Structure 1
């Protein structure tokens, strides 16, 4: 069996044409009987009127069909414009979404960079604060606090002394004591400055450093060694009497220290 075709309902224009044709056929069928009743003029007149009615009906059907087609075309055009507008809006939304995603990614990168910079800044601030905070140190059995820069400058002088750069070391110790006259490092700076000068054969300046230590900090543990070093400088200056007096004073004041014992032995050899 062949499949049945679906029957589409006639449009408004088609119905109008069908009605006009039906009317024309009905009038044509009645012409013979009317022609018999009326004369030729009247029949001719009736035919003309019928033709006019048919033409009017046909024209009305054509107009109705044209209006229907116009409306369909207008609806199609409107639908096309709507679809196009919707497509443009969708594309615009896609473009805006892509831009927003790009901006979001850039913002995330900016936030990450700002966090990195903030962390770096905080670390730098912490380092600077730590560089300004006093530190606890111990020197020659004495504990005290110093500023980080103060500690660094003293260690720089010690480094020059260890490197046997005695003139530079003596100068750095001098600069340190002028900058930090009340430093806890002061006794050590005077003592090691005297040693640096002694190593450079600057015996009189060395004696000045040792005597400054004894005068400023008479109870310091380095005082016996400073007195022994003064005696050494005096011997190098060929001042044996002064050296002997210094050794005698050293042994008398500090007989049980290593420096005092060394002074006793040297005095015995001088007899």
Structure 2
């Protein structure tokens, strides 16, 4: 706008100069005739046209300059907007990648926590398999490992089914595998009975004697002595049978087995 005003100002000054320059020809026309007046008018018109053309040229140049300035400003603004949009797009892309990475990390963390939970649960289950558990054996509460209990229960299940051959094998394996188990005295007692049923009398007597040596106060100790006496009878060793019955009555006089021992001793005499 400032340039435009300057152009109009220059044009206006040019017109004033032209009119001033024509004052002498007009005066000459008043005293010199029609020809001079016409020439003066023509010169005035020419100068006016020249002034108008100059003014128009100045206006066009001013407008063109303003348009160029505006176009340059618009181009710079567009370039700045394009750069800003590019930065925004890059930030969006980086944000999307960051959010995707966070989601992936969150999924990985969740999966890791679940796997850790599964591992801990598995470890706890395995530890529980090895933790001693209380059981009642022949009227006594003792602590045994789960594996011991499983092997003993399996062997006794065979014994209760009267599968004495399989029970003997299972009980022999138990004693070898779990030699320090609290089940061992009871396992020896039932192993002796399985061997007795299988007519392995000497082996049977050996295991009953091991029981008495290991646990003389065991709830089935008196029964083990009675079983030893029965083995002597099967082996036709009546003297040893009588001595064993007498020892039983002396060692366990209040045990119910002592009553059976007295009856059997009376029959042997």
How much has 1:69 moved relative to structure 2?
Answer: 0.6
1:77-120 C-alpha deviation (Å, 9 max, x unpaired): 12222223333333333333333332222222222222222223
Distance 1:262 1:13, change over 3 A: same
Corresponding position of 2:23: 33
TM-score by length of 2: 0.74
The range that moved more, 182-191 or 236-245, is: 236-245
Moved more, 62-71 or 80-89: 80-89
1:119-158 superposed matches below 5 A: 119-158=117-156
Match in the other structure for 2:72 = 74
Consecutive unaligned residues of structure 1, counting only runs of 5 or more, are 1-10
Q: Is the 8 A contact 1:16 1:61 kept in 2?
A: no
Q: Which residue of 2 aligns with 1:4?
A: none
Show structure 1 runs of 4+ deviating over 6 A: 43-54
Aligned to 2:252: 254
CA contact (8 A) 1:12 1:65 kept: no
CA distance, structure 2, for counterparts of residue 19 and residue 164 of structure 1 = 134
2:64 & 2:163 partners in 1: Cα distance?
115
Gaps of 5+ in 2: 29-35
Choose 27-36 or 80-89, whichever is displaced more.
27-36
Paired position in structure 2 for 1:5: none
| Residue number in structure 2 paired with 1:172 | 170
Mapped to 2, the partners of 1:68 and 1:27 lie a distance apart of 28
Structure-to-structure mapping, 1:1-271, within 5 angstroms: 11-12=1-2, 14-16=4-6, 18-19=8-9, 21-23=11-13, 25-26=15-16, 29-30=19-20, 32-36=22-26, 58-237=56-235, 242-270=240-268
Matched with 1:3 is none
Note if contact 1:13-1:62 (Cα within 8 Å) is conserved in structure 2.
no
Q: What is the total number of aligned residue pairs between the two structures?
A: 260
Name the CA distance, whole Å, in 2 between partners of 1:160 and 1:185: 16
> Taking structure 1 as reference, are residues 190 and 30 closer, same or farther at Cα in structure 2, changes over 3 Å only?
same
- Contact 1:20 1:54 (8 Å CA) reproduced: no
1:170 positional shift: 2.3
